[in-house]
């Protein structure tokens, strides 16, 4: 069964070529895209405007892989977290965040994450594997279908489990499939890719025809501080990262978002705020302050609201666009940096300790 290719991870041109080589007209690829991506139909038998012969040939050649919903939890604020099982049994999480101001799907790009950011539960899992393009696209299809939103507009943020630029080719292919006009037609303007700054791939992103909005997980204002909080900084430093941001082609009326998780007595001082202003000088930037979502195993605390407001005020007074993110879904552990699958939670205390050390 597994050597049949996943049709849902093929770009339109690949599907056209495959149909042609099977002796069928290329235009059926568009119909297939509509069935799978626009209507969420994954059983060839249900694709009623395709001939019987074609349907049975497709079922012999291809399969359509869709992550299974293991659990669905809705927070008091409407945020809904989905625990999804992949074909090999690995678990990932995807989150629906309503009205922010648009509806947003927060999706994962890897099982676990290799980046080991000091304040992030997913980072404690380590990297288990990359997601395939089909699994990335499949999360969107599952959420849209489960929530009755296949015909609705929604935004996509790549801010779930994993570092998207560490799984570059699969992520970009998934975005091209999601953007195809014959499928869900998600415009790049409605997609935000969040990265800690895997620099070679950030440079590649700058040349992509499908260019999502960019969010940089900055979180620190000195090299030493960032080395500690975001360890990839030891390889691609803060200065190089910000230079790459200065070169990044930002469209008119758009800005690069800089995410800054606020940690009490670590990076929340007035001096940090003033340094942040200086660092972002010359970049079309907006800053998103994220007071930490405290969690067991994370050795940092959330600053007081007064501290967060003072920090925001310093940025705003110096002309930066700044927002303080109201954390969503905290009661169901769906908030930023809190995605960690049950399999990791179910580890023994000794195993968990091993991961934390
Ligand atoms: S914050 Fe993002 S990049 Fe860092 S460890 Fe967590 S998931 Fe990975």
**For 150-178, how does the pLDDT look when each residue is reduced to its tens digit (9 = 90+)?**
999 999 999 999 999 999 999 999 999 99
The C-alpha atoms of residue 352 and residue 340 are separated, in whole angstroms, by 12
Q: Any catalytic annotation for residue 93?
A: yes
Pocket of ligand 1, beta carbon within 6 A: 113, 115-117, 120, 122-123, 161-163, 196, 217, 337
Determine which of 229-233, 312-316, 351-355 has the lowest per-residue pLDDT on average: 351-355
User: Strand, coil or helix: what is 243?
Assistant: helix
| Dihedral (Cα; 162, 194, 236, 112), 10-degree rounding | -10
Identified catalytic residue from 9, 16, 93, 135:
93
- Give the count of beta carbons closer than 10 Å to the beta carbon of residue 54: 19
For residue 218 the two structure tokens come to 């900055």
pLDDT at residue 253, rounded to an integer: 82
Write out the two tokens for 122: 């997913």
pLDDT tens digit sequence for 315-356: 999 999 999 987 666 665 555 555 555 444 443 333 332 222
CA of 96 to the centre of ligand 1 (A): 19
**Coil, strand or helix at 286:** strand
Cα–Cα distances in angstroms (integers) from residue 19 to residues 25, 36, 48, 64, in the given order: 6, 16, 17, 16
| CA 44 to centroid of ligand 1, rounded, Å | 38
- Mutate which of 123, 219, 220, 339 to test ligand 1's pocket (most atoms within 8 Å of Cβ)? 123
Positive or negative torsion for Cα 351, 69, 328, 128: positive
110 Cα: distance to centroid of ligand 1 (angstroms) = 10
Give the residue whose CA is nearest to atom 4 of ligand 1. 117
From 117, 160, 236, 300, the mutation candidate for ligand 1 (largest count of ligand atoms within 8 A of CB) is 117
pLDDT reading at 21 higher than 90: yes
Mean pLDDT of 246-264: 93
Cα–Cα distance between 111 and 122 in angstroms, integer?
9
Minimum-distance ligand 1 atom for the alpha carbon of 159: 2
Which of 173-182, 212-221, 292-301 is the least confident region? 292-301
What burial class does residue 247 get, using C-beta atoms within 10 Å of its C-beta: 0-12 exposed, 13-18 middle, 19+ buried? Answer: exposed
Check: CB of residue 218 under 8 Å from CB of residue 209: no
pLDDT at 329: 63
Catalytic residue, chosen from 117, 120, 245, 336, is: 336
Residue 328: strand, helix, or coil: coil
229 Cα distance to chain centroid: 20
The preferred substitution site among 122, 124, 160 for testing ligand 1, maximizing ligand atoms within 8 Å of CB, is 122
d(CA 68, ligand 1 centre) in Å = 24
Q: What mean pLDDT comes out for the span 225-238?
A: 97
Question: Rounded distance, CA 344 to CA 335, Å?
Answer: 17
Helix axes 133-146, 168-179, angle to 10 degrees: 40
Distance in Å, CA 182 to ligand 1 centroid: 33
Task: Using alpha carbons, select from 122, 140, 283 the residue that is nearest to residue 218.
Answer: 283
- pLDDT of the residue at 99: 82
The least confident of 29-33, 76-80, 304-308, 309-313 is 76-80
Q: What is the pLDDT at residue 328? A: 64
Q: What is the pLDDT of residues 75-100, one digit of tens each?
A: 988 999 999 999 999 999 999 999 87
Closest Cα to atom 5 of ligand 1: 123
Q: Which atom of ligand 1 is nearest to the CA of 113?
A: 8
pLDDT for res 347: 38
State in Å: Cα 295 to ligand 1 middle.
Answer: 15
Computed over every residue of the chain, the mean pLDDT equals 90
């Amino acid at each position: 069964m597994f050597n049949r290719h996943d049709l849902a991870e093929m770009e339109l041109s690949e599907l056209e070529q495959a149909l042609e080589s099977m002796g069928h007209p290329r235009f059926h690829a568009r119909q297939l895209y509509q069935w799978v991506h626009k209507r969420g139909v994954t059983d060839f038998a249900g694709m009623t405007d395709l001939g019987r012969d074609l349907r049975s040939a497709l079922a012999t050649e291809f399969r359509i892989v869709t992550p299974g919903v293991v659990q669905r939890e809705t927070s008091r604020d409407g945020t809904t977290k989905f625990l999804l099982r992949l074909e090999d049994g690995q678990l990932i999480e995807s989150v629906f965040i309503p009205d922010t101001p648009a509806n947003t799907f927060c999706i994962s790009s890897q099982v676990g994450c290799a980046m080991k950011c000091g304040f992030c539960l997913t980072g404690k899992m380590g990297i288990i594997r990359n997601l395939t393009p089909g699994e990335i696209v499949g999360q969107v299809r599952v959420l849209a279908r489960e929530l009755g939103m296949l015909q609705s507009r929604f935004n996509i943020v790549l801010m779930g489990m994993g570092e998207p630029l560490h799984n570059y080719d699969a992520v970009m292919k998934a975005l091209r499939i999601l953007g195809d006009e014959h499928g869900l037609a998600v415009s790049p303007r409605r997609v935000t890719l969040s990265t800690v700054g895997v620099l070679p791939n950030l440079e590649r992103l700058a040349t992509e025809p499908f260019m999502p909005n960019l969010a940089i997980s900055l979180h620190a204002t000195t090299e030493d501080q960032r080395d500690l909080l975001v360890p990839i900084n030891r390889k691609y430093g803060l200065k190089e990262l910000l230079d790459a941001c200065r070169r990044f082609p930002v469209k008119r009326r758009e800005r690069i978002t800089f995410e800054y998780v606020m940690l009490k007595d670590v990076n929340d001082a007035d001096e940090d705020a003033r340094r942040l202003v200086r660092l972002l000088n010359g970049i079309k930037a907006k800053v998103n302050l994220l007071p930490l979502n405290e969690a067991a195993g994370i050795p940092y605390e959330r600053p007081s609201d007064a501290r967060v407001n003072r920090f925001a005020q310093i940025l705003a007074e110096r002309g930066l666009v700044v927002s303080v993110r109201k954390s969503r879904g905290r009661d169901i552990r769906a908030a930023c940096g809190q995605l960690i699958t049950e399999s990791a939670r179910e580890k023994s205390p000794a195993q968990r300790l091993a991961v934390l050390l």
